[in-house]
Structures are given as C-alpha cells and as structure tokens.
Structure 1
Amino acid sequence: MTTQLTQSYWPAEKSTGVREITLPGLLREAAADVPNHLALVDAVADPDARRHWTYAEFLAEVEQVSRALLARFSPGDRIGVWAPNSAEWVILQQAIAMSGMVVVAANPAYKAHELEYVLRHSGAVGLFYVSSYRGTDLEPVVQAALPTATSLKTLIKMEDWTDFLASGHPSTPLPEVKPTDPVQVQYTSGTTGFPKGAILHHMGIVNEAAFVGERAGMGPDGVCINAMPMYHIGGGAVTELQTIASHGTYVVMPGFNPGLTLELIEAYRGTHSLMVPTMLLAVLEHPDSATRDMSSVQTIMSGAAPVSEALVKKVTERWGCQFSILFGQTEMHGVTNQTRITDSPEDQAGTVGQPLPELEMKIADVVTGEVLPIGEQGEICARGYQNMLGYDQMPEQTAATIDEDGWLHMGDLGTMDERGFVKVTGRLKDMIIRGGVNIYPREIEEVLAGHPDFADLVVLGVPSEKWGEEVAAVVRLRQGAVQPDPLELKSWCRERISMHKSPSRWYFTEAYPQTPSGKIQKFLLRDQIADGDLKAVVLPSSSDQAKVSP
C-alpha cells in the first residue's frame, strides 16, 4: 500500500480476501492438491526414531482421531491438551477442530494450581496429557487439579495414543464446522498476572497464518522448522497453519534445542523458522552453527520481544537469508503487523512493519480514543476479522478490551509513520510515572541496548517514597563482561538520555522469568525485587558513593 497517510490510521488493505474456511477445510484442501507431498515430521532427536506423514496420511489420521473423539465427546466440548510438542499434538489439535470441539492449550510446565485454573475456568470435559515432563511426574499434578475442575470427566494419556486411535468407528459421521465457530481457548501469556482465556475462531487463525506465510515468502516447497510451543499461538497457529496453507512441510521439534535446530535445518533443508530473539542467539552461538549447512534458509521470523538491528544483521549475514519481524497478540489470533522480506534494514530493525491485509489499525489517544497525528505516541488499536470472539466467561474484561465500535485495544503504545509502519514504544501498563512525569521503558531500553557489556536488559518502575516510582534496569551481562562501575554507568547514561530517564537502580541477573513465547514477565521481576531476591546497585544522586540496597 503506497498511500501517504495524513493521520495515524491504516485502512484495511485489500487482498485476495479473507477466506471463509476452517482448519479441516484447509487440511482437506492441501490433501486434495498435494496428497503425496511430505506434510508432517515428528522431529525427535534420534533421526532413526523420526516419523513422517504425507498430506494424505496426515488427513487420514486426523479423521481417525476425530472419530475417536466423537466416541467420547460432543461438538462444542472443550478438550484440554497438556503436553509438549509432538506430531500427535498437531494431529490432535486438527482432529479436535474437525470434530467441532475446542482446544484448551496448557503449558506442560504448569503447576497444579495453574492447571486447575485453566481446566476449571475453561470447563474442559477431557484432558490429554503426558505422564512426565522434564523429569517431573505429572500424574499427581493432574490428580491434584481434579477436585475443583468438576467438568473434567475423561483423562487420556498421550502414551496410550495407539489404543485411542483405534477406538473410533470408521462410519461415524464428521460434523459440519463453520468458519466463525470457536476452535481454541488460548490463555494469554501472563506478563502482567493471571491469564485470560481468549476464544479464537477458525477463520481468524487460518487467514492470519496464511497472510503471515505470504509476507514471509513461504511457498509450496517451504519447510518450516518449529520449536515454538504448540500450546502457544506462535506454534499452534502461526507456524503450523501457514505451512499447511502453502502446502509445505511442517517439522515439529519436541522442544527448543539449538543444536537440534541446526541439524534439522540441514537435514530437511529448512526454509523458514520462527524463533524469538533468545532462541536465535542460542542457535547462532552454538558450536555447530559454524559447520552446519544453512544455505536452504530463506526467511527467519522473530518477535515477542524487541529484535535489535545487530541481531537482524547477524542472522541475515551469517545465513544469507531474509528476515521478517512479527508483532501481535493472542487476542488478535497472533500476528497483526509484519515487516516484509523486502523492507529496508532500518524498517526491519526500527519498526514492526505494516498491518496484515484486511485489518484496520489506528494509534489512539489513550484517554479519548481519537486518532492521533502521524508520529504521535498512543495506544495501538486494531479492528477486523482477526478480533477474538471474547474472553471466556469474562464479559467485563471483553468489553474493556473491545470497544463499542469494534476496536480491540491492544495495550501496546506505539507510533505510526506516513507509510503505515508502526513502531512499538512500550506497554501502557509498563509506563513509569516519576514525579508526575510519564516515562516509557521502551525508549530507555533502546538506548541502553548500545552498552557494550549488556547482553539483555529490561527497564521497569520500582516504588519510591520521594518520586512515587523510580527508573530501574535489570541487566544480563555479556559472557565474560565485568559488572560496570556505578559511576561509569551514571556517566554513560547521562551522555545519551535525560537525567530523569536514566536508571537510578541497577539489578544484575543471569536469567529472566519468561513466558513460553519468550516475553519477559516484568511482574515477576518486580516480585523478585520486592522480595529481595535481586539486589540493587543504587546510583549516587550527588558525589555519594554507590551502595547496594534491597
């Protein structure tokens, strides 16, 4: 779209159109067009143990699982899936959708109270789960959740998959599924507290994923190497469905492992992958990165956290590939904005691109909701077919998120230029108010990212009797770096940023609490600071020496 905007409003860009299609419709379409093309790979670490499905075989197994589901459940039922990545996860998700049921995705790292919350809140009637995960026996966790998850009636272990597969009747008719029917309840990442269940529909996740694949340059010969969790929107919708939409090959890893990622790209001639920045850094820093053949890589997608210009350049130069930045949220079925592979390095590193086709977007005044002039900071709002159906059993929260005019308030702050490129400047809830002055952490993080000793950093507000809030930075140092002298830090910041924006408290950590999608959970960092688990280096306000405080 080449129209020069005069205000921060992007009218929906026309395309080939939003298809009235469902997940089973998409899979049947691929199986009819390319029945013998490799569709799915269960990419476990042992190459001899890997399993493969053509599109015809993929569809046949999904239909078999769907009939097994219908022997136990009814269309409209919510079915929990509590397991790490596997081909069975993908097949089960597709089968639940084909049966007119709804996937309730749960992180296998959940503790009992977290699993109980998701099962009870969603009203799940069935649960597929693994017996153990990362050395933890999950059976006691499931049993502990049962007393309050009263709707849950049926438990099925993933280890019993073969028996379950054979339990359906071949003549069981499969229901008609509509594009606007609910297909998933995705619980939000929880960067600010307990998650809400966003109800997503078939048409939303299929079209959004297809548009992402088109903008990333994925075609019928595409091979997507995926380590993103299937219980997250990035794995269980974006990567999977863009691959099926393009009739490509989906290589699903059991979990992220940088060495395995490199081996799979080489073995299957991987063309596309979605990796958050921390994953990308781990792959680039792995010893095998220098010896594996990465010549097949066409496009690396990244997002969920700020992606630096240095990382974009490192990936594209090392692998000779293209790059695409993704931005969005669960409530919008995943991605709302994406840079094109033809965008300039400056736009790749400094923006999240333009909105996806068929989606309206505006930068709105946080008080009035009015569209702001070009370049002014406000809340990013979106409207279109990608809107979620609502938060499950939370009408008040739904109304607070989607206004009467259908605009979904994303909670992110940003600006829009005259071309429609959006720059994310922070989270509305992350805003620091110091002495009555609004301070946006993202702006400070971009400056501090230039410090040669910092590998990662987070800026947030901490309580202050004098100012209400003070600016704090939580830093992970580069390997081999020595913690900087506090006075040097103060001097370095003052040369680059206003005094009131410079962090007065510095915390150093080896790892951040993160969601499965790689988003840093600032509320948990605040808890660590409040509990004294992180100690601050407090910069002197005058000539006083720096001191360490809780």
Structure 2
Amino acid sequence: MVGTSYRPGEPGEELLDETVGSLLRRAAEQAPDTLALVEGVPDPAARRRWTYAELLDEAERAARALLGRFSPGERVAVWANNIPEWVILELAAALADITLVTVNPALREAELRHVLGHSRAAGVFLRREYRGNPMARTLAGIRADLPHLRTSVLFEDWAEFCAEGSPDRELPEAAPSSPAQIQYTSGTTGVPKGVVLHHRGITNNARLSYVRTFGLRPGEAQLNPMPLFHTAGCVLATLSAIVSLGTQVLPPYFEPGLMLELTESERCVVMGGVPTMLIAMLEHPALPRTDLSSLRYVLSGGAFVPPELVRRVEEILGVPLCIIYAQTEASPGITITRLDDSPEDRAHTVGRPLPLSEVKIVDAAGTVVPNGVTGELCTRGYHVMTGYLDAPADTAAAVDGDGWLHTGDLASMDERGYCRIEGCLKDMIIRGGENIYPREIEQVLAEHPAVAEVAVVGVPDPVWGERVAAFVRRTSGRTVAEKELFDHVRAHLAPHKTPRTWVFVEDFPLTGSGKIRKNVLREEYAAGRLREEADTSD
C-alpha cells in the first residue's frame, strides 16, 4: 500500500505467550540478587528495597493470602498512591489469577461507587487516607451500595494479611489471554468505562516498547513517577523494569525536587512523565546543582508534547527525549520515537508503530488516506483490549469487525511511517464549516517563550457556531498580553485558526494521568468562572 497511511508494524519480533506472573518468576530465576524495587521516599535512610528473589517471595505469599479470601477469576481493586505494596499486589494478583481493578486515589464517593460497583470487585486494598482524601471513611459510607464487595484491607495491615496465606496452597496458572487488569478511562467525556486488558497484551507491550526501544539493561535504575493506577505506571514502567531485570525506583507521589534527587542518588538512567511533570522539573531551582549524569534518555507522552519542550529538555539535560503515543485500550503503547531518530522527528512526531502493531489512518468512511492527510488513527494486533467491561455496544464502536481499534485521535502518517497526532476527533473545532485542529494551534503557541502550557478548545459562537479559545498558563516570571500572542499565531497560521478568546490561568484541571481536562475548561468558561482577558475580532 505504497503512498497510503498504513504500516504493518516492524517485523522480526516474536509474540510471547507470557503472563505478569511468569515475567516475575523468570526474573527471580535469572537475577535473584538484583535489586528490583526501591521505595523512593524523601528520606534515603527510609527507602525499603527488594531484590527479585525477595519480590517473588512476598508476591507469592500475598497471592496465597488472596486465594484464602478470593477465587481465581474474581476481581480485586487497589485504591492507593504509588507504594511498593501496590506493585506487590499487582504481581500477587497475577500469580493468583485474580483480575486487578486499578483505582485513582483522588476519586471521591460517587466516582468510587461507580468503579467498585461496575467492576463488581470482591475486595479492595486501600490507604486509610491520602492527601486529605479520607479513603477509609469514604469506602465505609458507600459499603451498603456495593453488594459484591466482601472484604477490604488497609495497606497498614499488609503484613498481617500476607501472613494469612498457607505456604502449602498451590498457585494457579493464569492463561496469557486471561484478564490481568481492568482500568477505568479518565471520564473526560461521559461515564468512565472499564478497559479489560489481558496478560499477553501488557507483557508484550512493555517488552516491545521501552525494553526494545531503549535497550534497557539488567540492574539499571528506572524512575517511575507515573501513577500506578494508569497503564504508564503499572504496565509500561513496572513491567519493563521486570522484563529488563532492572530496578524500579518508585516515588510515592510526583514532586519535582524529589524526582531530581532520586535520579541523582539512585543513578537512574531514565526520568520521564507527562509534559506538566517535565516542565516542573526544568523549572525547579535544584536542577542546576543536581548530578544527572546517569541519565541516558527522557521519556514523555500521555498528552501533547510541544516540540519546543522536546528541544528544551534535550538542550538542558543533554539526552534524547522520546515520545510514546499510547492509549489504555491498546495496552497501551502504539507508536514511539527512537533514540536514533533525528531531532526533528523526535520533536515533531510520535514515531513509528511498535513491532507487531498495525497502524492506519482512515477517513470518515473508513478508507485509508494518502500519506500526509489527516484522519483517525486505528491500530490492530496483540495489544488491543479484550473490550469494555459489560459494554458490548461501546466495545463494538471502538473495535470494528476486523479487529481495528479506533482511537478517536486525529493523526497523519508520512511515507516513512512516522505519525503526527493532530488532536482528538471530539476536540476538533468546526468554525463556519471549517475544521480546525487544536493541536496545530497549541504547537505554535507553545513555541512562544512566555507560554508554559496551553490548551485550545472550541466555545460556542452565535455567528460561527464555534470560535477558537486559548487557555494559557504563562511561564514563571514572564508577562505577556493577549495582543502579543494573537500576533504570534497570526504570523504562523491562517486567520480563521487564530484564537479570538484568550483566558490566562494559574493552573489546569488535569486527569489522574496528567492530561488537561478540556471539557472542564469549556464548562468553567461557559459558567463564567474563567474570564477572558480580551476578545479579538476580525
């Protein structure tokens, strides 16, 4: 299909029939004394550490304890921040053939009721409290609404729970096709759906994305600041460390100064995060005096990564910044930029499809478009989810009869297979019949030195149907007026793409995975809670 936006995925790789449990067992066999997990708390003296042999031993004890309360195939939820016990529970559930339901620790009562009720979780492991969220009290308040929930365990009682397991209990063998996790979508549009991910998908995706792309080596420390309830944290980062026999350094939360200190003290070869995290680290006063010589690369994704940020990271840190394009429904990696890609490709594209993953760009009729033409990105292969839990209509809408996952993201592909994400179908602005892609405008604005972060959305307009609105967070210590930014965009883009509404914000509403919640911006603006600085007309 020369000249069309289709790539079959790089050949030469074998699809392995593995489970999360088999990954851990192999790592413990091959590298029993290698450091596997470090608790990245601020006090270096308080950091607990596990070798692979110790990690397997604790995970097996926890798995046997799980089987004392639950049966293989049941679902158990985890509601906590990034703590080592979260990772151990993930591994234990896999060894017990129990499906893990991941829950954002920021959720409140109604959100928690939906996730635990919809998933029919038989148990939940949780913190008593986290960052002001009274989690145990919240759970107690909705317990009567959750008929399937038989038991709950506080992580402060983890040691006592693990001691329940009988050492003689035989652990089952999960099938590679068995569900490993249920992850709930961010819910930026509608009620969150439960994405069912299988062992084969997440184990191979971790291997073929991070491990293969970056040549991760045994014993190398890998900093994981991404939330574990998200696939970036518990799949890509956690499982790639195990596949590569590396060391996962797990901070309990994101704090830029702590990330820098951990990178230095634990000699991490990779740091990463969504753009807001990278910006916070670059702007932190400790950066100039932090020894980051161990870094081999920086990784980002999960949200739009401005080319100017890529260039800034590479210039300041002196290592390549690679971008992964991912979606929970795809286990999650789909495309990635490589270390040997040109600086231009690393800054302006999301790379080429991962091995064994087909990618195509199609128009509204489902026809593959020519190279360079924008359409919806679709992917097919081992990595596609089993489906949305108890939602056959939603599953059929997302995965067509030929197995193609329709991501809902607008993209283009060049003749080499490099992809550029232009935006989301749901975010496309239609102004007087003209289709406008916010990503293009955000990219131009991100190049202005006074713009730290930006989100472009469509807001109602009585004449044009929609008009372009830009929400801007200024760079620390910089001032900029709407007129200057208007002129900057006008100098680079057509007049109809230039924002007419400008709103300056101190921060953005974010999903748990760090994406800007554009639906909240629209709602807040419509309600008059976000006021524009000026409105420029033609």
Other-structure match for 2:458? 461
1:55 aligned partner:
52
The residue type equivalent to 1:323 in the other structure is L
- How many residues are treated as equivalent by the alignment? 537
Q: CA 1:192–1:264 in structure 2 vs 1: closer, same or farther (change >3 Å)?
A: same
- 8 A Cα contact 1:191 1:520, kept in partner: no
One-letter code of the match for 2:527?
A: D
Q: RMSD of the TM alignment (CA)?
A: 1.4
Contact 1:430 1:441 in 2 (8 A): yes
Tell me, yes or no, if the aligned pair for 1:258 and 1:279 is still in contact at 8 Å. Answer: yes
Alpha-carbon distance between aligned partners in 2 of 1:75 and 1:35, rounded to the nearest angstrom: 27
How far residue 66 of structure 1 moved from its aligned partner, in angstroms, is: 0.1
Equivalent positions of 1:477-496 (< 5 A) are: 477-484=474-481, 486-496=482-492
**What is the deviation of 1:489?**
4.1
Q: Which amino acid aligns with 1:267?
A: S
**1:142-541 → structure 2 map (5 Å cutoff):** 142-212=139-209, 213-365=211-363, 367-484=364-481, 486-541=482-537
TM-score, normalised to structure 1, is 0.95
Task: Find the aligned partners of 2:313 and 2:504 in 1 and give their Cα distance.
Answer: 27
TM-superposed CA distance for 1:308, in Å, is 2.5
Match 1:100 to one of 78, 97, 100 = 97
User: Match of 2:219, SS?
Assistant: coil
Letter in 2 for 1:59: L
| Unpaired runs of at least 5, structure 1 | 543-550
Percent of aligned positions that are identical: 48
Name the CA distance, whole Å, in 2 between partners of 1:347 and 1:46.
Answer: 39
Q: Which amino acid is 1:530 matched to? A: A
The amino acid of 2:102's aligned partner reads A
* Partner SS for 1:146: helix
Structure 1 residue 391 displacement after superposition: 0.2
Letter in 1 for 2:433: G
Name the SS for the 2:167 alignment partner: coil
Offset of residue 487 of structure 1: 4.1
Aligned to 2:41: 44
Counterpart residue identity of residue 343, structure 2: P
The alpha-carbon deviation at position 435 of structure 1 amounts to 1.2
CA-CA distance at 1:363 after TM superposition: 0.4
Distance in 2 (CA, whole Å) between partners of 1:383 and 1:104 is: 24
Q: How far apart are residue 483 of structure 1 and its match?
A: 4.2
Aligned to 1:138: 135
Q: Which deviates the most, 131-140 or 179-188?
A: 131-140
**Deviation per CA, 1:277-309, whole angstroms, max 9, x where unpaired?**
111111122222111211111121101122233
Structure 1 counterpart of 2:51, one-letter code: T
Say whether the 8 Å CA contact 2:307–2:443 is kept in structure 1: no
Bigger mean CA offset, 195-204 vs 447-456: 447-456
State the Cα distance separating 1:259 from its structure 2 match: 1.3
1:293-335 Cα deviation digits (max 9, x unpaired): 1111112110112223332233223333232111110000011
Change (3 A) 1:496 1:319: closer
Query: Who is 1:129 aligned against?
Result: 126
Shift of 1:538: 4.1
Question: 1:78 is matched with which residue?
Answer: 75
Matched position secondary structure for 1:287: coil
Aligned residue in 1 for 2:17? 20
- Tell me the SS of whatever aligns to 2:358: strand
- The letter for the 1-side match of 2:302 is A
Contact 2:13 2:355 in 1 (8 A): no
Shift of the 540–261 alpha-carbon distance from structure 1 to 2, 3 Å rule, reads closer
Q: CA, structure 1 residues 129+6, in 2 after alignment: closer, same or farther (shift >3 Å)?
A: same
| Structure 2 spans left out of the alignment, 5+ residues | none
Structure 2 equivalent of residue 546 of structure 1 = none
Deviations 1:433-472 (A, max 9, x none): 1111111111111122223321111110001111111111
